[in-house]
Amino acid sequence: MENAEEKREVSEMEQWIFDNYDLNNNGKLSNEEAKELLKDIEDYDFTSEKIPVEEIDAWFAKWDTNKDGQLSVNEFFRAIA
């Protein structure tokens, strides 16, 4: 098993995107912050269907590997990779 907090290289662009949605600047994405980001992705990608809130919650829980209720930058970019 890999370590839940295993680090991987995060590009400046990725960090910039992450920081943009880290609304309270605590270095983590809360469930609410992640929803804002996913909403913007949906608005941008007109072909995609709206994602039900329950699916976002399940997605969030799946990728919150250390179960602290927040997505770190590493957790987040593993999730959307």
Residues at the interface with Ca ion (CB under 5 A):
22, 24, 26, 64, 66, 68
Minimum CB distance to Ca ion smaller for 48 or for 66: 66
Alpha carbons 80 and 52: distance in angstroms, whole number: 17
| Packed helices 73-80 and 53-63: angle between N→C axes, nearest 10 degrees | 120
Smallest gap from Cβ 22 to Ca ion, in A, equals: 4
Smallest gap from Cβ 33 to Ca ion, in A, equals: 5
Minimum CB distance to Ca ion smaller for 22 or for 37: 22
Q: Are 9 and 78 in contact (CB under 8 A)?
A: no
Smallest gap from Cβ 6 to Ca ion, in A, equals: 12
Minimum CB distance to Ca ion smaller for 15 or for 48: 15
Alpha carbons 16 and 13: distance in angstroms, whole number: 5
